[in-house]
Each structure stands twice: as C-alpha cells, then as structure tokens.
Amino acid sequence: MIVLVMGVSGSGKTTIGEALAAALGWTYLDADDFHPKANVEKMAAGIPLQDADRWPWLDKINRKLLQLQKQKHSAVIGCSALKQAYRTRLRRGIAEFKVVYLRGEYKLIEKRVKSRKHRYMPASLLKSQFDTLEPPRRAIVANVSAPIPQSLQKIKKLLRIG
C-alpha cells in the first residue's frame, strides 16, 4: 500500500507522514527530496512552480513508488499534491493508493509556516498553494489543529491498519 499524506506547506505532511510510517514500520518518502535543482531555486526565490515544472518531479516520485510496489514494500509519501491531476500522476500503476488530506485554516498554517525555517519554501508562497489546492473528493481527512496522536489514531483506523 502507498499512502499519500498531502496538503499545503506547513500542514504537517512530514510530521504526520514520518510518524505514520514509523508506527506502521513502513518507508517514509519526502517529495521535497525529489525536486530538481531548478525547482528548488524557483521556490527559494519565491516563484511558484508551474505544472510544467511539476510533471517530471511527479513522474520521478511515481517511478520510486512503482519500484517499492514491485518490491512489495508499503510506504508513506509526504507530498503537497495540491491538484487532482498531480495525485492522479502519483498513483499511476499503483494497485493500492490511499490519500490522507491534512486540512487546516489559512491563519493557523500561516502562523506555522512563518515560525519555521524550511529548506527553500518561503512563507510568501503559502497563498499560492491555497489558491491551487483542489481538496480531494475521496480521502481520509485529518484536521491540522488536532493533536498528532489523535490524528494518527484516526488515520490508522480509517486505513484499517493497526
């Protein structure tokens, strides 16, 4: 099984994703690690990525997920995956793909983003992420304001794992 933990920057994808993967004994992947240098440089300069920037990045992640599936490994991937088209691209060829959507209010997430130092994602890009966001129709929804243990318990229950 592949579980996508998605949401805007600052929603807790890494925190929840790593904790979920650890609790399940699965591999955790951070989509940020798959960005080419050009994408990182754009974002660091405060320039939002365009779809043309994202397709090769999403295809690279999909290839890794297919490799894990072929090896019969389950994994959790933390990725913004803001549009349905991005999620469709990530799930291509994956037999069992579940989506966990970390939903939260702009003000709360903005406060989080402003209080942390991301490798390259400036707080100025948060608005563009909310503008781009297409909430998934079928997903496990976790509220970002909930305590992490409560969110993990809910996610595991709805995944029917643990």
Lowest mean pLDDT among 27-31, 58-62, 97-101, 118-122: 118-122
More confident residue, 85 or 106: 85
What integer pLDDT is reported at residue 124 of this predicted model? 67
Please give the Cα distance from 25 to 76 (Å, whole number). 10
Nearest to 112 by CA among 4, 15, 33, 34: 15
Return the structure tokens found at 97: 């793909």
Query: For residue 162, is pLDDT > 80?
Result: no
- Secondary structure element (H or E) that encloses residue 78, with its range: strand 75-78
Return the structure tokens found at 125: 């890009």
Query: For residue 122, is pLDDT > 70?
Result: no
- Rg for the chain (alpha carbons), in Å? 15
Q: What global pTM score does this model have? A: 0.91
What integer pLDDT is reported at residue 78 of this predicted model? 98
Query: For residue 127, is pLDDT > 90?
Result: no
- Beta bridge partners, 30, equal 78
- Beta bridge partners, 102, equal 142
DSSP structural state of residue 46: T
Please give the Cα distance from 77 to 30 (Å, whole number). 6
| Structure confidence by residue, pLDDT tens digits, 16-42 | 999 999 999 999 999 999 999 999 888
What integer pLDDT is reported at residue 120 of this predicted model? 54
Neighbours of 120 (CB within 10 A): 14
Average pLDDT, the chain: 91
CB 77 within 8 A of CB 61: yes
| Structure confidence by residue, pLDDT tens digits, 41-82 | 888 888 888 899 999 999 999 999 999 999 999 999 999 999
Please give the Cα distance from 140 to 101 (Å, whole number). 6
Query: How would you classify the pairing of strands 27-30 and 140-143?
Result: unpaired
